[in-house]
């Protein structure tokens, strides 16, 4: 299946997970199209200063892959800066948050898989 970006559903979330600003979620594929236990397959776009607040992933794991921009991540209590090409894995009850700290938007490929 091939999907043109213009066909992808977009959601705009204000103060996502008690974060700041807005996050645009571009859903590459919907849950009913994916045959695996995948809850999310999307590109997240955070403008400068926007963030996703700290949250835990219980019975699932989330992978972030940084496509553009720079971010500050709280990886279960460990604070670190990330940039293009970096990846973050959070799951098994651990938590994370992320904030755009660059002058350009932070773009992230995000996939959430659920444990069976």
Would you state the pLDDT for residue 109? Answer: 98
Would you state the pLDDT for residue 102? Answer: 98
User: Is the separation of the CB atoms in 38 and 27 below 8 Å?
Assistant: no
Distance, CA of 74 to chain centre: 13
What distance in Å separates the CA atoms of residue 16 and residue 97, rounded to the nearest whole number?
A: 10
Q: How far is CA 49 from CA 18, 29, 37, 77, 89, in A?
A: 14, 27, 32, 20, 22
Would you state the pLDDT for residue 18? Answer: 98
| Confidence band of 35 (pLDDT split at 50, 70, 90) | confident
Say which range, 24-38, 41-55, 58-72, 79-93, has the weakest mean pLDDT.
Answer: 24-38
Would you state the pLDDT for residue 32? Answer: 87
What distance in Å separates the CA atoms of residue 68 and residue 108, rounded to the nearest whole number?
A: 7
Average pLDDT rounded to a whole number, residues 84-95: 97
Tell whether the torsion through CA atoms of 13, 47, 27 and 67 is positive or negative: negative
**Mean pLDDT across the chain:** 97
Domains and CATH numbers, the chain: 9-114 (2.60.120.10)
Q: What is the pTM of this model?
A: 0.95
Question: Is the model's pLDDT at 116 over the cut of 80?
Answer: no
| Confidence band of 75 (pLDDT split at 50, 70, 90) | very high
Q: Residue 32 — φ and ψ, nearest 5°? A: -70, -15
Per the structure block, which two tokens stand in for 31?
Answer: 């849950």
Average pLDDT rounded to a whole number, residues 14-31: 97
């Amino acid at each position: 299946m091939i999907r043109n970006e213009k066909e992808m559903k977009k959601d705009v979330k204000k103060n996502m997970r008690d974060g700041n600003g807005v996050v645009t979620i571009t859903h590459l594929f919907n849950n009913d199209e994916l045959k695996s236990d995948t809850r999310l397959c999307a590109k997240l776009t955070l403008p400068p200063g926007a963030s996703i607040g700290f949250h835990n992933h219980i019975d699932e794991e989330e992978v972030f892959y940084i496509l553009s921009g720079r971010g500050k991540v709280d990886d279960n209590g460990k604070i670190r800066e990330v940039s293009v090409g970096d990846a973050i894995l959070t799951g098994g009850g651990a938590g994370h948050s992320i904030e755009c700290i660059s002058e350009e938007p932070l773009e992230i490929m995000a996939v959430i898989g659920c444990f069976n």
